[in-house]
Amino acid sequence: MTIAIYPGSFDPITDGHLDVAIRAAKLFERLIIGVYDAPDKPLLFTTEERVELVRQAIVNLPNVEVKSFTGLTIDFARKVKAQAMVRGLRMGADFEREFDLAMMNKKLSPELELVCLMANQEYQFLSSSLLKEAARLGGNIDNFVPKHVATALRRKVHSKM
C-alpha cells in the first residue's frame, strides 16, 4: 500500500490545503494529513482544534486520515510507514523553502520521496496567515475555507479581541 503524508500546521486548514489533499488522495492509496503540534510560530488554534477542523474538512475522503505529530517530519513519516511526503507550492518563495527542506530531508531520510503539487491558480495567494489577518479585520473569508472553518475562525478571532 502506498502511503503519503501531507504535513503542516494547518492553522487553520484552507481551501488551498484541501485542494492539495483531494488531489493527493487520488495519487496515493492512503494519505495521512499530519498536523504539526509545535511549529516555531504563534498559533491561533490548539492542536486538538486544528486536528478536528481538518477531520471535518476531509470527511468525504475515505482514504485520508488526520494525525498530530511532534518532532521531525521524517520521523512521523517512518512511524506511519509513509513512502512519500506531499507539499503544495504556491509561488517562487515556496519553491525555495521546499527545495531546502527537501534536500535536508533527503539526507536524513533517503527513502522518503517528495511530491510537490502546484497550487491551483485560485489559491496562489492564499495562506493561513493572510486568512487570519483578514478575519481579524472583519473581512469576508467564506470563499477561502470550508464553512465550519470560517465559523470557528470568526469565533476564535472575536474571542481574542
> Catalytic annotation on 158?
no
| Residue 132: closest CA among 118, 113, 152, 103 | 152
Q: Which three cell numbers stand for residue 23?
A: 488531489
- Pick the catalytic residue: 26, 41, 107, 160? 41
Whether 17 is a known active-site residue: answer: yes
Candidates 9, 87, 128, 132; catalytic one? 128
Residue 55, Cβ neighbours under 10 Å: how many?
15
Residues whose CB falls within 8 Å of the CB of residue 35, separated by 6 or more in sequence, listed in order: 8, 9, 10, 47, 50, 51, 54, 66, 67, 68, 69
Instruction: Name the catalytic one among 55, 67, 79, 90.
Output: 90
Catalytic one among 9, 17, 50, 132?
Answer: 17
Q: Is residue 41 flagged as an active site residue? A: yes
Known catalytic residues? 17, 41, 90, 128
